[in-house]
Every structure is written in C-alpha cells, then in structure tokens.
Amino acid sequence: MAPHRSPGPLLSFSEREILSAESTIVFHPQTLSNDVDTPHKPWYHYLPLCATVFLILAPHPSWLYVLVDFHLQTLHQPAFFVAHLIITYTLTFMAFSSLIVILARDPGPANPPPSRLEGAEGEGEEIGLTEALMPDRDFSSPEKWCRKCWAPRSERTHHCSICNRCVMKMDHHCPWVGAKCIGHRTYPAFVHFLCCVTFLAIYIAVVASNALWFAFQNPFAVHEFIPVHELGLAFTGGIFALTVGSFAVYHLYLISTNQTTLENIAPFMLLRHLPPLPRDGHSLSDPPLEAELSPVQRRIVRDAHGQIFIYDVGWKRNWVQVFGWNRKLGWFTRLWYGGACLGDGKSFPRNPRSEEMLAKLANDLVKFDSDR
C-alpha cells in the first residue's frame, strides 16, 4: 500500500518569480513625496506670492527719491546716502534669498517610496514586499500611519490637506510664499524671511520719519512733493513692522519653546502623547479623542497645554536645533538665507519633565471621567 502523502500547495513560486513580483509593484503617486510626483498648483495659487514680491519692491522708487533729494541734494551727505543704499538692499537681497529657498526646497519629504528607504549614508536599501505593505508601526503612538497618504508618519509629521502630502515637522501652510508648507527643511528660511522684512520695514520707517521731521522744521529747504513720499514710507514701514514683526516675534517664541504653530494652537494634540490609560474605571479611548471629552476635561487639557512643552530642552538647545550648523562656515549660510534645521526631522529629543506632566494629565482625565 502506498504511503500517505500530504497534499502540496495549489500554487508554488520560485524565488526568482517572487523577487520579480516585488520589483514590479506599482504604488499610487500620492504616496510618494518626490517633487516629480507632486501635482502642479493652479496659477491663481501664486497670486499671493506675486503680492508678497510686489509689496517688498513697491516702496523702493519712493525710497530712492527720498534718499537722493534728502541726503544728496539737501544735506549733501553722500556717505549716508551710500550707507542707506547698502543696508536697505542688503536686507532686501537677504529676504529674497530666503524666499527663494522656501520656494525651491522641499519642506520635508516625510514618506519615501515604500520600495526603497534612504540609509544613513544616502544609499538606497531594498526592502521586501512584506515590509513594504505591513510596516511595524504602533498605530496609537505619535509615530503612526497616515491613512490619507497610506504611508508611515514619523513624530511631529502632519498631513497637509491642501498640498495632499505629509510634511516633516510641519509648521503651517503659507499661501504668501507660493502656497507651500513650512516644514523641517524650510522653517529657518521662513523665520529669516520674516526677520529681514521686519528689519527692512523698521529701517525705512525710521529714516523716512527722520526726513519727514526735517521737512516740517525746514519747509522751504526741501522739495514740495518729498514730504508726501516720506509720509507714505513712514506709514507703510510702520504697518509692515507691526504686522510682519508680530509674526516674527511669535515664531521666535515658538523656537525658544520648541513648538510649531500647529502644536501651539491645537491643545488637543497632547492627547496622542498620553501614556496608556487604565483599562477599567472610565469610558475613554486610548488615547482619548477630543469629541468624547466633557467640558471640564477640555478645560483641563487646555490648561495643561500652556504648561507642557514636550520638546522643550532649554532655549539654547532649542535654537541650536533650528538654526544650528555642523560645518565650519555654517553660520554664514544661516545669516544669509536661513538654511535648514539640524537632524533628520523624524525624531526629536524630549523634555524629561514632560512624561511626568503627561501622566498627571492622563490621571486627571480618568478621574473626571469616572466622576461623570
């Protein structure tokens, strides 16, 4: 009697066929973060950028008119005339340099192609089909899976619904700089741009106000149309200094506390960082959802948001993390156009006190939920 044999598999593949199948997998273009696969924006998305460039260049004809008439023809001070030209156009060139960096540089490619990951030395490392389709991710942690890009999303990475992509350490989406996101690789250039425009506006406003005061004291020594230009420059310079300067000061505060705009204005983002909650004694999810919190619990989260800075490691290290450099003359690039943040944009050092404060917040939420 012939020995019993277990039935074999219905289909069998050789190793060469499996490798060929893995190499021919096609992923959706939206899961890739390369600039080639990013859809082009409509032309009207660039209208705010044109307005930004226009507002920077619009005061310069009046500025040159005031400098020539006031410092050359009235006061006969060619040295001051040249100094004002150098300072204003250096600040203007620096502002445009950082603006070009924002437009030309990717803010932070969060999701590389699933079939190839970049190694530490920039060389590609092939991964298999199983690793590409089923990555080892903790879906409840801040480092989780993006269900819109269908790709892994690292810490402090957010999905932009306008750009339809994930951005590393996303700060915000800015329509005034080409409808682009400000992220890990463009945030220093963005802050540099705000500071340069603010300093330029303050400088023009101060010099124009000084010339306007001279015109009031010596009405017959200047041309009759010069005070109109000086008044316009002083007014617009003051308006720009207040509006753009307020944004610059706000972002300097965010750098000092190591926050992004999204983290600062969204207090309920703390919920995703909470430690695991007890299984019994409450009806909250793990981590809790904003919609299931009571008004008292929402107030607790908002109060804790002003005290818990998860990534604050001291203002010096916070500034080094954003504006630091690791090359010999790196300070020159930071001074000239802002550059990019240090690190890989995927992992960040944490405030050692934040874990204890997050645990206290979790206990308070559970306590007030059990009392309902």
- 146 is known as an active-site residue: no
The DSSP code sequence of 45-107 is GGHHHHHHHHHHHTTHHHHHHHHIIIIIIIS--HHHHHHHHHHHHHHHHHHHHHHHHHHHS-S
Q: Where do we find the tokens 């750009």?
A: 163
Q: Which amino acid is at 290?
A: E
Instruction: Taking the CA atoms of 212, 216, 217 and 221 in sequence, report the sign of the dihedral they define.
Output: positive
Distance CA 337, CA 318 (A): 19
The DSSP code sequence of 125-166 is EE--HHHHHS----TTSSSEEETTTTEEE-TT-EEETTTTEE
The CB density around residue 353, as the number of other CB atoms within 10 Å, is: 13
Dihedral angle computed from the Cα positions of residues 30, 36, 39 and 45, in that order, rounded to the nearest 10 degrees: 130
Pick from 149, 161, 164, 137: which is nearest to 31 by CA? 149
Q: Among the options 146, 174, 195, 196, which is catalytic?
A: 174
**H or E stretch including 122?**
none
The DSSP code sequence of 269-329 is GGGGGPPPPPSSS----SSPPGGG--HHHHHHHHHHHTT--TT---HHHHHHHHH---STT
Structure tokens at 132: 């590409």
Would you call the peptide bond into 287 cis, given omega within 30 degrees of 0 as the criterion?
A: yes
Active site members:
174
